[in-house]
Structure 1
Amino acid sequence: MESWNQTATDEVRSHAPGEVNKRIDERVERCVRHMAEQERSQISHYLEKLEREWDLNRAVMVVGSAMALLGLWLARRDGGRWRILGEVAAGLMLQQGLMGFGPLAELVRALGGVRTRKEIDLEKFALKALRGDFERIPKPDGGPLARANAALVAAQS
Structure 2
Amino acid sequence: MIPATNQRVELHTCDATNRQIAEQTRERIAFYSTRSPQEVSDRLLELDHEWDIERALECNASALAFSGVVLSATVDKRWLLLPGLVTGFLFQHALQGWCPPLPILRRMGFRTSAEINEERYALKALRGDFERIISRDGVHADAEAAFVGAEQ
TM interval, shorter chain, is 0.7 to 0.9
1:128 and 2:121 equivalent? no
Kindly tell me the number of residue pairs found equivalent between the two proteins.
128
- Mapped to 2, the partners of 1:107 and 1:50 lie a distance apart of 21
1:106 paired to 2:106: no
In the alignment, structure 1 residue 81 sits paired with structure 2 residue 83: no
Distance (whole Å) between structure 2 residues aligned to residue 109 and residue 61 of structure 1? 14
Q: Does the aligned pair in 2 maintain the 1:71–1:82 contact within 8 Å?
A: yes
Deviation at 1:35, TM superposition (A): 0.2
Q: Any gaps of 5 or more consecutive residues in structure 1?
A: 1-8, 138-157
Give matches, 1:88-103, under 5 Å: 88-103=85-100
Separation of aligned partners in 1, 2:67 and 2:111: 25
Query: Which one-letter code corresponds to 1:43 in the other structure?
Result: V
Rounded Cα–Cα distance in structure 2 between residues aligned with 1:125 and 1:24: 16
The superposition leaves residues 25-79 of structure 1 with CA deviations (integer Å, 9 ceiling, x where unpaired) of: 1111111111011000000110011011111111111000001011111222222
Match of 1:117 in 2: 113
Q: Which runs of 5+ in 2 are unaligned?
A: 1-5, 135-152
1:56 aligned onto 2:71:
no
Which of the pair has more CA radius of gyration? 2
Partner of residue 69, structure 1: 66
RMSD: 1.7
Equivalent position SS for 1:68: helix
When normalised by structure 1's length, the TM-score is 0.75
Partners in 2 of 1:47 and 1:73 — Cα distance? 39
The answer to whether the 8 Å contact 1:57/1:105 transfers is no
Identity value in percent: 34
The CA deviation at 1:95 is 1.5
CA-to-aligned-CA distance 1:100-132 (integer Å, 9 cap, x gap) = 33223333222x211000000000011111111
Contact 2:72–2:79 under 8 Å retained in 1:
yes
CA offset at residue 88 of structure 1? 0.7
